[in-house]
Structure 1
Amino acid sequence: MRGLIGRDAELAVCERLLADVPQRPVALVVDGPIGIGKTALLNAAAELARERGYQVLRCQPTELETTLTYAAVADLLEPVVGLASDLPTPQRQAVEIALLRHDEPDQVADERALCFATRGLLGRSSDPTVLVIDNVRWLDAPSVRVLRFALRRITDAPLVVIAARRPDDFDPRHSHGPSEALDIERILPPEAVHRITVGGMRTGALHHLLRDQLGLSLPRQLLASVATASDGNPLFTLELGRAISALPKLPAPSRELPVPSSLTGLIADRLSGLDLETTQALRLAALAAPASFDVLAAASEQDVADALQAAEEAGLISLGGGQVRFTHPVYASVVRAGIPDPERRRLHQRLADVVTDVERRARHLAAASVEPDEQLAATLEDAARLASRRGALDVAADLAEQAAEATPEGSPNAPRRILLAGQSRAASGDLGAAQHWLTMHLDTLPLGHDRAEAYLLLATSSWHADDSAAAEWHATSALDAAAGHPIAEGRVHAHLTVMAPEDRWLDHGHRAIELLRGTDEHEWLAFALFQTFYSEILNGQRPDLTMLDEGLALESSRPGRQHSTTVGIWYKAIDDFDAARARYVAMLERARDAGDEASVLELLPHLADNEFLAGDWELAARYVDQATALAGELDVPTTQADFVGHLLAAYRGDSAEARSHGTDVMRRGDEAGDTWLARVGMRLLATAEVTSGEYVAAADRLREISGQLDKMGHVEPVGVRIELDQLEAMSGSGADDAELAAYVKRLDERHEVIPRARLRLAAAVGHGLIASLRGTPGDGAALVEAALAEVEGEPLPPFDQARAQLVAGRLHRRARAKAAARLALDAAIAGFEKLGATAWVERAKSERDRIGGRPPAPAGLTATETQVAKAAAGGATTREIAEALFLSPKTVEANLTRIYRKLGIRSRAELGAVIRG
């Protein structure tokens, strides 16, 4: 909103404060250190206030203005100076003098008159007013006195004060002192003052900030280093970004960041004047950060206690609990940047001699070394593997890269360490950095397992970035590199079960199983079994559940090593949403525990899709939001999550958004030659068109999708649920009954191979539409109603059920069966409302409105039956009804059975619709 990045929570506070015009002055105090984004937030708040009809008066004093007189008051009053003509003469003259508008420039303003004038101008304005003060630290003292006087005495005006300050603004060492500060909290009543503390921005927000402000998109791990160095401070982040942009190439994630001179200047006063002992202690602390006092004392050549105390008094570090911490990471960066290289290496060696932590010791040894060294490389490799076992994947990737770089040329251990670095970087979620590293070292790896593994990592990284063409190329290159190495070949074939063209999946799957059976590659054999199971289903074969069971058994032999989403796709295909949810949630928890964000990003869209189908659209939307946020942080697309999100948008009434996104996705797919991506876009467009009743366009698009699937041999398109859309589009666009009959025949055949309630229902809808085309809509409605009764209690997407009820209602209406039509349509409306499908609620209501007449009353019920019906429709349980009406539970159930029979309904949901009428 308003171009403000990463401050949604803070802006929400401003929105709440400005939502209703106050009857008396209120204030919002915005706290935060220099560069944290207070001004940007105040700019957004001011814009929001103007949109809400507030008059905005603003001052933005600087350090140079503290010695001026009434500079801030003049800025604030300038827009309302026209109202001064109504003030008493002394007050008007005081305002003119303060604003330098008096005819006699040498006149001195009467401060008391100016105080009353300011009170009058702020308190008498006809419009609600927002006073924006950025930054109270630099307000000139005369303006502070005038504003104190005025704000204390305005008690009944619609005035909002928004003021930004730094945490130390009332510290006499850093400001003009409490006696001359504008302390809003002492001026207004406590209940009228609200506060925001603006903290550091999240990594994802910093990514957008750098991209928007500097056009700089950093690899994820380098971005994380920037976020750590700046502590999320946007000003410091931008300065670091500018310094990085000026480098000939990006620094490695494990290397020290450049420190721009602008930051050095910002804290020069804190560093100047330190004696040699304090400077040396700070250098040691900066290289060890975070460090314990004991480590610094052991590594130092002097007594560091007095030196560290002096640094604390200068505000650079804090001491407590035996730990030495810099008060801001940028201070440590500036100190490190000022250490000469020989001194830096010497201090790192001293630290390596005293630290006991394996990872820290390895890092210090690496920083102290100049030449490659096999022993150092082995130490770094061990530290990397230890960090990986601890779940510190970013740390592991840094150490693995350092291990590879420390390895002497020609060492037989070099290929292993190069691969370890690439694997670690990919596991940390920084796919771009992994691709860069592997591409840079690819030619140094020998053919066979090592080269093939590197190509596979490149293929996987491309796959997660939605670049299927690059993924296929890398995977095919891996197959060439693996020639003559059966296990490596088997792993590559397993990858190609998803990365090759879809008509080749099955061949690669069978070959992978052949090569990997009997080996220790249980994970990849299980993956190949799952993919082959899936591919056979796509080709129209009956599910080979023994293959699925074999894969699951292999997984269970290695607990916690599931990495195939295909099993969940199968569970979704048969509408076993509980089983799919259980698998995906377990995989998601493991991925999060391991810090494997690439897998997290893969799993969130599957969970979103599962909850969309299961009918929990709110939870689906939350998964979409999580995936979108993570994709933004990783700077990769998330096509499937976007698809679910825009599908929800279309069903909730925003077809335009879905249409725009679908068009863009289809265009990108066509340009890249990616048929899957283009198909996703087409499917979303067709959904928007069906929802909007544009049946001709939707029918053509859905025919094209079906034709593509036929061309690929996908007899059973497991993940493509277009049946009800295609039936409605064909029927609504004037397709003849022969075309509909051919499509319905295929649905019947698919249901015969893999029985599913949704296909049984879709086929019944098709038969019902055909009957209507042939002039017997009543028979068609009966077919759909019968299918609804048959599938009751079976796994079924609630949206499909409501759509079938809508079709039944429409066919009943065409057959002039008004009562039956109303019952079916009421049930459809209830189903759509429960989901939040606003667009479909309106469609069903529009269909119901076409019935005409008044809804029939539940006639024919006895007095007892009427009481039972009303209680049940209101949500009471059988036992609650029995107790309220002094009946036995069996009598209540008997009454309900008679009620359903008399009204021609089957459930309490339909009963509620009848009673509500």
Structure 2
Amino acid sequence: MLNRTDASGLPGTLAGRAGELAALGGHAEAARAGRSGLVVLSGPTGIGKTSLLRAFLDGDACRTMTVLHGRCGEVEAGAGYSGVRALFGGLGLTAEGAQDSPLLRGGAGRALPALMPCPADEEPPTAAAVYPVLHGLYWLAVNLVAQGPLVLVLDDVHWCDERSLRWIDFLLRRADHLPLLVVLAQRTEAEPAAPAALADITAGPRASVIRLTPLTGTDVAQMARQVFEAPIAPSFAERAAAVCGGNPLTIARLLSELRSKGARPDETAIRAIAEVGQYVVALSVRALFDRQPDWVREVATAVAVLGEEDAEHIGALARVPAARVEEAVALLRRVEVMAPDRMDLAHDVVRSAVLEAAGPRALAGLRATAAQLLSDIGRPAEEVASQLLLVDGTPEPWMRGVLREAAAQAEHRGAPEAAARYLHRVLEAEPQSVSVHVQLAKALGETNPVESIRLLDHALTLAPDVRTRAPIAVQLGMTSLTVQRSPAAVRVLGAVLDELDQEIGPEPEPRDAELRTLVESALLITGSDEKATIGTVRERFARMTEPVGDTPAQRQMLAMMTVLSAMEGRSPERTVRQARRALHTPGPALGNWSLLTSAFALSLADEVEDSLRALDRSLRHGQENAAVWSYVITLSTRALVLYGIGAIPDALADAQTAVEIIGEEQWSANVTMPQTSLALILIERGEPERAEELLAAVTRPNLDGFVLEYHYYLLARARARWALGDADTALRLLLDCGASLEETGFANPAFVPWWVEAACVLAAEKRPGQARDVVDHGTELARRWGTPRALGLAAVARGVTSPGEAGIDLLTEAVGHLAGSPARTEHARAELLLGGALLDAGLTRDARERLRTAADLAQGCGALALARDARRRLVSAGGRMREITASPIDLLTGTERKVAKLAARGAGNREIAESLFVTVRTVEMHLTSVYRKLSLTQRAELASVMSAPDIPDPQAPAWVHASRGRR
């Protein structure tokens, strides 16, 4: 029934809410049917949100659903994942032995740092470690959904911490077709603790807002009938509704107060209504305290400050014996100030009235005392700090220690916003502290990098010596990468490096030498990202000596030196030696950044097996740590390497998976490698229109300022335009690419070989003479680099722009070089060009042989556009060959192929989803498509279909696939 006493002990506050209750029931029904949803229940204080939620959860709508119900509190608003703990705390997942719970199986185990009252004492995670916790909580929700439809209800969400809200957003972005309903109750007049995060959720496509409106006179009359035995006069009900603003809680209190005064529900009570009115709660609380002993007020105030606590601790704060606490609680429950079912006040309106009655000075002292009490009884630092955040004024020394410890705990959880909130208070008291500036900057590195950089800049001015400034400069450099502020960071790192050289001298102690190497490597990393700084970095690099040791900083230094060595394009031997030293030296595991840079350099030197091994290590690290960003960039890089060696189906699978993953991430606009790599592969597959659509959607700001990403992007756009017949635009883009590369000093001919593409475009347009400077430039670079791929590309460029027999000889030379390189698709393209030149010379038989070879090679690579072109020219020359058609396996998209192969190996949908960072529903959709395309009826049939020798094994290292392809 609607007109019953609610959980807070306030009678009848559900009057007039039948429509809203029915709407909630409709959303629950949709969730049970597999249509996930979000309902935001909003309205002013006391409008009846909590009562409505309780009626909804206790009613038939949720009877067959798992319900998790939590409430956010003002005190906990600053603690990382406090909202999550309010939701999941009742599951007991942090108890001893609970780690074996089926709810924590698989990736859900990563949720524990968010759930633990006090996280484990270990090294704080990096910013990237936020993602493992988010993913862990997502899989925890999926495990719960596996047991049945799930309802997550969070009341007073305006006090929810930012990290919990970010997780709810993360969950909803992946909740397609999950039987899940999220209900958030928000007080409209309250300023949210995390307004941006809450706005992102409520603006989402799944959000449905139910705004609770004020009660009418008719609704008030219904409530009054539960309080008074006499008939309710319409004027009485209308006046009560008007004076109380239609607020159910205020009306309920008003009716109760009027009854206690002996008033009748008719015109005679109109004056009394006006006197008590909308201030009834505050007035009734004060009146209560005036009529009771002081210790009743002290207990109520202690409860208002501490929230749900046992009688002993409430008594300690109130300075009242435990027996008196129990007596006071019983009295407060009788007058509906305390909740009937928990050791807390009945409503936040009541809490506000109690705290207001205490006065601001007394309240500040009580909060400080409460924090001290909680600290003394061993509560987690974050719980103590939550009280301290509400205390005005400069924190005392002991408070700062608590706040620092709380910040460390928040970092362990992967909750940087909470850590920053605690450290801001410490900084108020210690504005000249270098360590606090640095700690706070680290916490803000992900969420507010601009402020993080400002803090680090100030820390540099406060640091007493260069040894202190050096690690700060390193942190500044790495943070600057996220906001494209490398030029300023490079200047800082260069100045610190010069000062450090003067301080430590030519023969430094080992510790100083390691510090210097760390600064040098940070300078290389920071300055190699943007065109504006690459010149400075190259000048520094020219004066650097290769480190001889194998410390972490030295290995990172070596990894970056490999990229700059490769960029010079002078010595593949030196590049390979440096990369192998960085990768294979015993010691701590190499970071993802170093793995990526080493792999990239090795691929340019044709050492693809070592390159792909390094990328596989990076992918495994990403999977094991749920490091989504680095996983996506590594997938994209591996797609480009595989594309370069003619393993196009494998490359397609990686690129499509990367694009699919970023579609679920908020930072997708800041990456371009997934879209660019997929576009290049689609062009090779004969789908330039799709490639252009992908490239048109790239929106990264200042893309033309990046060293690597911009040139891949230009090459992809040029190839798409050329494939669509727009030679002029293609040529302009290629020349722009060449000019930009010259500006950066990137002289490696194997990186974005624009000069070969430009030569081919000009030759096809019958303008070979215009290609002379371009061809000479590329040939000089290729001869200096000297790898088979580079020499083969140079011979192609010279061959297509040379007439007659000279061109045939050069193209024959190109085929020889490329046949000995890992570049199988380029080998097929050279065979095609040679076949065309032979055909033009009238050597039809020789031409047919080359064209047939080109078609076979291209089809084996998965380069369908090239294979079809070769077959077309072969047939026009009188040769015979079957149509180049896709096999059933070729009909699969790259992601479908990857999912199908994993399923064929026996992996479950959940396991596949976790390994590919997609949802179970996505895996199901891919498998449905696979069954349809391959005409399969059951999963067991996948094993035989997907076990063909030419189908790559997604669990085997990628270099194995590449090696098979070259044999």
TM-score after normalising by structure 2: 0.51
CA deviations on 1:244-276 (whole Å, 9 max, x unpaired) are 69999999x9xxxxxx99699999979998999
Q: Which amino acid aligns with 2:675?
A: D
> Is the 1:429–1:598 contact (alpha carbons within 8 Å) kept by the matching residues of 2?
no
Secondary structure of the residue that 1:633 maps to in structure 2?
Answer: coil
Mean CA deviation greater in 227-236 or 525-534 = 227-236
Match of 2:605 in 1: 574
Is 1:394 the counterpart of 2:415? The answer is: yes
CA deviations on 1:817-856 (whole Å, 9 max, x unpaired) are 5566556545545555566555445544543453357559
CA deviations on 1:155-188 (whole Å, 9 max, x unpaired) are xxxxx999999999x9996599879x9xxxxxxx
Match of 1:461 in 2: 479
How far, CA to CA, are the matches of 1:450 and 1:659 in structure 2?
49
In the TM superposition, what is the alpha-carbon distance from 1:569 to its structure 2 partner? 1.1
Match of 2:561 in 1: 532
Mean CA deviation greater in 695-704 or 226-235 = 226-235
In the alignment, which of 436, 439, 445 is matched to residue 420 of structure 1?
439
Match of 1:495 in 2: 522
Is 1:621 the counterpart of 2:647? The answer is: no
> Is the 2:731–2:761 contact (alpha carbons within 8 Å) kept by the matching residues of 1?
yes
In the alignment, which of 570, 583, 598 is matched to residue 541 of structure 1?
570
In the TM superposition, what is the alpha-carbon distance from 1:744 to its structure 2 partner? 6.8
Match of 1:913 in 2: none
In the TM superposition, what is the alpha-carbon distance from 1:472 to its structure 2 partner? 1.1
Q: Which amino acid aligns with 1:556?
A: P
Q: Which amino acid aligns with 1:508?
A: R
Q: Which amino acid aligns with 1:606?
A: T
> Is the 1:689–1:698 contact (alpha carbons within 8 Å) kept by the matching residues of 2?
yes
Match of 1:20 in 2: none
Structure 1's 644 and 785: CA in aligned 2 closer, same or farther, altered over 3 A?
closer
Structure 1's 222 and 763: CA in aligned 2 closer, same or farther, altered over 3 A?
farther
TM-score after normalising by structure 1: 0.54
CA deviations on 1:641-662 (whole Å, 9 max, x unpaired) are 3322332344444535645776
Secondary structure of the residue that 2:415 maps to in structure 1?
Answer: helix
Q: Which amino acid aligns with 1:699?
A: L
How far, CA to CA, are the matches of 2:667 and 2:340 in structure 1?
33
Structure 1's 415 and 265: CA in aligned 2 closer, same or farther, altered over 3 A?
farther
In the TM superposition, what is the alpha-carbon distance from 1:808 to its structure 2 partner? 3.8
In the TM superposition, what is the alpha-carbon distance from 1:618 to its structure 2 partner? 3.0
How far, CA to CA, are the matches of 2:347 and 2:854 in structure 1?
64
Alignment of 1:875-914 (within 5 A): none
Is 1:689 the counterpart of 2:721? The answer is: yes
In the alignment, which of 653, 656, 677 is matched to residue 644 of structure 1?
677
In the TM superposition, what is the alpha-carbon distance from 1:473 to its structure 2 partner? 1.8
Structure 1's 173 and 242: CA in aligned 2 closer, same or farther, altered over 3 A?
closer
> Is the 1:828–1:844 contact (alpha carbons within 8 Å) kept by the matching residues of 2?
yes
Is 1:795 the counterpart of 2:852? The answer is: no
Percentage identity across paired residues of the two chains: 16
Alignment of 1:49-128 (within 5 A): none
How far, CA to CA, are the matches of 2:882 and 2:633 in structure 1?
51
How far, CA to CA, are the matches of 2:585 and 2:353 in structure 1?
53
Is 1:505 the counterpart of 2:524? The answer is: no
In the alignment, which of 574, 591, 614 is matched to residue 583 of structure 1?
614
> Is the 2:848–2:874 contact (alpha carbons within 8 Å) kept by the matching residues of 1?
yes
Q: Which amino acid aligns with 2:165?
A: V
Structure 1's 228 and 533: CA in aligned 2 closer, same or farther, altered over 3 A?
closer
How far, CA to CA, are the matches of 2:632 and 2:189 in structure 1?
30
Match of 1:851 in 2: 877
Q: Which runs of 5+ in 2 are unaligned?
A: 1-15, 42-49, 64-132, 136-159, 173-180, 201-208, 216-245, 254-280, 286-295, 334-338, 502-511, 884-963
> Is the 1:573–1:718 contact (alpha carbons within 8 Å) kept by the matching residues of 2?
yes
In the TM superposition, what is the alpha-carbon distance from 1:737 to its structure 2 partner? 6.4
How far, CA to CA, are the matches of 2:341 and 2:847 in structure 1?
75
Match of 2:163 in 1: 224
Q: Which amino acid aligns with 1:559?
A: A
> Is the 1:539–1:716 contact (alpha carbons within 8 Å) kept by the matching residues of 2?
yes
CA deviations on 1:498-520 (whole Å, 9 max, x unpaired) are 51633332332355659x889x9
How far, CA to CA, are the matches of 1:642 and 1:769 in structure 2?
30
Structure 1's 505 and 165: CA in aligned 2 closer, same or farther, altered over 3 A?
closer
Match of 1:633 in 2: 666
> Is the 1:378–1:403 contact (alpha carbons within 8 Å) kept by the matching residues of 2?
no
In the TM superposition, what is the alpha-carbon distance from 1:552 to its structure 2 partner? 1.9
Alignment of 1:381-780 (within 5 A): 381-382=404-405, 384-385=407-408, 388=411, 390=412, 392-394=413-415, 398-399=418-419, 402-403=422-423, 405-406=425-426, 409=429, 414-426=433-445, 431=449, 434-435=452-453, 438=456, 448=466, 453-454=471-472, 456-465=474-483, 467=484, 470-480=485-495, 484-486=499-501, 491-497=518-524, 498-499=526-527, 501-509=533-541, 522-542=551-571, 543-544=573-574, 548=578, 552=582, 556-561=586-591, 563-564=593-594, 565-590=596-621, 599-600=630-631, 602-613=633-644, 614-615=647-648, 616-625=650-659, 628-629=662-663, 632-634=665-667, 637-656=670-689, 658-659=691-692, 669=702, 679-710=711-742, 712-717=744-749, 719-722=751-754, 724-736=756-768, 739=771, 743=775, 746-747=778-779, 750=782, 753-756=785-788, 758-766=789-797, 768-770=799-801, 773-774=803-804
Secondary structure of the residue that 2:670 maps to in structure 1?
Answer: coil
Secondary structure of the residue that 1:719 maps to in structure 2?
Answer: coil
> Is the 2:828–2:858 contact (alpha carbons within 8 Å) kept by the matching residues of 1?
yes
Structure 1's 762 and 566: CA in aligned 2 closer, same or farther, altered over 3 A?
same
> Is the 2:441–2:452 contact (alpha carbons within 8 Å) kept by the matching residues of 1?
yes
In the TM superposition, what is the alpha-carbon distance from 1:760 to its structure 2 partner? 4.2
CA deviations on 1:705-749 (whole Å, 9 max, x unpaired) are 334434554432453243652342232133436945972785476
Q: Which runs of 5+ in 1 are unaligned?
A: 1-61, 68-132, 140-159, 182-201, 205-220, 254-259, 311-315, 326-330, 858-907, 911-917
> Is the 1:352–1:365 contact (alpha carbons within 8 Å) kept by the matching residues of 2?
no
Q: CA RMSD in A?
A: 6.3
Q: Which has the higher contact order (CA 8 A, sep 6+)?
A: 2
> Is the 1:767–1:780 contact (alpha carbons within 8 Å) kept by the matching residues of 2?
yes
